[in-house]
Chains A and B, each alone.
Chain A
Amino acid sequence: MILDSKEPKGPIEERWDKHRFDMKLVNPANKRKFKVIVVGSGLAGASAAATLGELGYNVSCFAYQDSPRRAHSIAAQGGINSAKNYPNDGDSVFRLFYDTVKGGDYRSRESNVYRLSQVSVNIIDQAVGQGVPFAREYGGLLTNRSFGGAQVSRTFYARGQTGQQLLLGAYQALARQIHAGKVEMHNRTEMLDLVLVNGHARGIITRNLVDGTITRHAADAVILATGGYSNVFYLSTNAMGCNVTAAFRAYKKGATFANPCYTQIHPTCIPVKGDYQSKLTLMSESLRNDGRVWVPKKVGDHRPPNSIPDEERDYYLERRYPSFGNLVPRDVASRNAKIVCDEGRGVGGGQAVYLDFRDAIARDGKDAVEAKYGNLFHMYHKITDEDPYSTPMRIYPAPHYTMGGLWVDYNLMSNVPGLHVLGEANFSDHGSNRLGASALMQGLADGYFVIPYTLGNYLATAKQEKVTTDHPEFVAAEAEVQGRIDKLLSNNGTATVDSYHRRLGRIMWEYCGMSRSDEGLRKAIVEISELRAEFWDNVSVTGSKGTFNSVLERAGRVADFLELGELMCRDALERAESCGGHFREESQTAEGEALRIDEQYSHVAAWEYQGEGTDPVRHTEDLEFEYVKLTQRSYK
């Protein structure tokens, strides 16, 4: 299989313009003749569905939640990057592009990232037009902050709720199209399969989560905007319902899955407290601007933090990275926390490090610290019952975002014609590490400003016959879905769905988490496949299929995670270099830093499903860097 990125050629700043001109258009009067399915209603899905509705397409949008407003984009705290350069501090489209490619550790496609930087400017205009209440200066103009160690202030924010405000903007635009009859919304509905007709994506099979009805939906194109798969780790900062099912069923229908091993482990999360824990809570990484990270120097030092004198503390980030200190990128901060905990110097049960504001409070006063971080301190206090003003916070890394996803070309179309993938669900823009405040930017760029153009080109050129849901491919796909559900329900096993999910999570965290090795990954592949066999043999799924059945929902999702986990390990195994969020123990410098191997791995790895019992095939798309010079990242 040849993975053709379909990137336009020529000067990078002209590529998107040129491509927009070269693409075919759908006549305004003809748009209403096309039906488009959008799965997911987060930033990418809602913005795409709303915009396509505005253009005149007939859109059906699907969400597993009870309302499109609840998609997990809502939980993003920090902000959204844009190359507006309002602060006049040297930012530009090119600099945002450059930072994103570099931050992604040179594993993303230059053309895509450049376009992302270009349209980042329009996103802010759009959001403000919708009434998104971004932070402002007293003069009434928008304010920016520096985020995630960036050298310029390009992050727009709405307190700690930027994701919520942007999602509500997109949701309201979507609501307007629902009201206008251009978008048909299907809440509490889950996509369980993709339907291909003559090799083109022509529809989906869904299950209504309230009454269990299985429905076939036919369309002229399918867009997946179904988010990431961090929940493969069981514990993550994702919402409880986040899952890989839609993307994974597409993979099984022939869409390639790119770089599944690229996951982002966020360094500042509240540590795990017990086995009952259902999810992890992220705290904005802005905390590292003033908090100092440390562990005791001695192994087994169980004294309360405030009685450990400075000379017996190891401020390990400041020690190892004198120039960046506590502000090293997410992957570096996370990995170092793991290293000190593996050495036995972790605190509060061993799986945590301190994030200490003592010095900041002494320097700036409690009021100043409270003004900056009051809401985060409050949240921490509420969850842990500890006061971070008087005792250091305990933090530990947690799975947060997945850079990998379905492979897409420059048009955001997968290798399956007609199947488009947006937002976190695709692999395209962040390489092997995502920069802070870039997820919101990408989701909205894809939905508002890319897919409305590229989808038209597909529809105008694909020229497929209309199909109905009576087509044999729909009948077959529905039967397959029914078969899976029946199999799960008739299993009569004894172990709960969550018990398998937890065990999978532990394997993934251990072997495919912050640090990966050849030996560990091989072990994980065996263990996951054994666990999967046991799942299908002994899982207990209560209730029936024709009702609201949360156990059945979770069972289907965990079944897919059990396959995805293995694919992630295979991908991690084959990529014997360290890059971004993927750290291979065999590939490090003498000082223990990540070592990228560009000669061998400067490519996208996209996996093609070969059927049950056969190993998937790894295809590659070479990455060319014309504008950004490849260098090893260094934060020393």
Chain B
Amino acid sequence: MNITLKVWRQDGPNSAGRLETYDAKDISEHMSFLEMIDVVNEQLEAAGTDPIAFDHDCREGICGMCSLQINGTPHGPERGTTTCQLHMRTFKDGETITIEPWRATAFPVVKDLVVDRTSFDRIIEAGGYISVNTGGPQDANAIPINKGDADEAFEYAACIGCGACVAACKNASASLFTAAKLSHLALLPQGQAERYERTSSMVAQMDLEGFGSCTNQYECEAACPKGISVQSIAHMNRDYIKASLTGR
């Protein structure tokens, strides 16, 4: 199949960017989306020009490094799929595909399609953990955990930190990312001691990074490759109210 690509090219954080057009010829429908970009890039490289910069690593949908706004949707048209797991058979021969970096003030563009997501790390650093030193915890079976709670905690812990939620939100809100980690830890007995302090600190950091507010449109949930539920956001809000009222 032949595809026309319109790709955002930007030299650096402070340069102006523009959409440039490339032809991707003789693409196999079995290629992954990133392999299709690899092919275009190898042609650019062979011609001595700078290939399109994009983030990727594991290519099995778990590391959260790949991104890309594909035709206006984070990770492309297929629900529950990261860009690296998206295949060209999803597209039609002759189609034009627009690829842009994720846009958020808190995710400045590094180059082309690569953005800086360290704001997510700083949200976790602000409290997204249980403060146990190595060697401290008791026997793993000393605390029974209700299976339902453990399973629900897992659903939230499945977040890969890719940032699709921010990319999809018209306000570039990081609520789903922050809430997923908060809910994961708040559902477990181990996470109770710091529960409300954690909520306050992470929410404060989320605001400090310049993410927008949640408008409850749930585009984040729809765009999340791991299908993380916005129930987590309700959970975060509840805990946040309690944290504020009790001064923790």
Contacts and interface: CB of A to CB of B under 8 A. Distances in A.
Contacts of A383: 85, 87
Contact of A140 (B65, B125, B146): B146
A164 B82 CA distance: 16
Contact of A187 (B118, B140, B146): B118
Contacts of B144: 139-141
Contacts of A543: 50
Contact of A547 (B111, B116, B132, B190): B111
Given A66-B118, A138-B147, A176-B129, A385 B137 contact: no
A261 to B, nearest CB: 26
B234 to A, nearest CB: 20
A276 B150 contact: no
A424 to B, nearest CB: 15
Given A70-B63, A140-B146, A548-B110, A540 B48 contact: yes
A25 interface: no
Contacts of A206: none
B108 to A, nearest CB: 11
Given A74-B58, A133-B154, A543-B50, A142 B140 contact: yes
Nearest to B53: A548
Interface of B: 11-12, 28, 30-32, 34-35, 38-39, 42, 44-46, 48-51, 53, 55-60, 62-65, 81, 85, 87, 89, 110-111, 114, 116-118, 120-121, 124-141, 143-147, 150-151, 153-154, 157-158, 160-161, 184-185, 188, 190-191
B121 A175 contact: yes
Most B Cβ at <10 Å: residue of A51, A128, A498: A128
A71 B116 CA distance: 17
Interface residues of A, number: 85
A478 to B, nearest CB: 24
A175 B118 contact: no
A360 interface: no
A390 interface: no
Contacts, number: 220
Contacts of A134: 140, 150
A595 B59 CA distance: 37
B127 to A, nearest CB: 8
Interface in A273-319: 273-274, 276-279, 281-282
B45 A70 contact: no
B134 A66 contact: no
A175 B184 contact: no
A129 B130 contact: yes
A587 interface: no
B184 A122 contact: no
Contacts of A540: 45-46, 48
Interface string A57-75: 0000000011111111011
Interface string A498-515: 110000000000000000
29 contacts: A47-B134, A67-B117, A67-B120, A74-B58, A74-B63, A75-B58, A75-B62, A84-B141, A86-B141, A126-B134, A126-B137, A129-B137, A131-B130, A131-B188, A133-B188, A138-B147, A140-B150, A158-B154, A159-B154, A165-B157, A175-B128, A178-B125, A276-B31, A281-B60, A379-B85, A383-B85, A383-B87, A542-B48, A547-B111
B65 A70 contact: yes
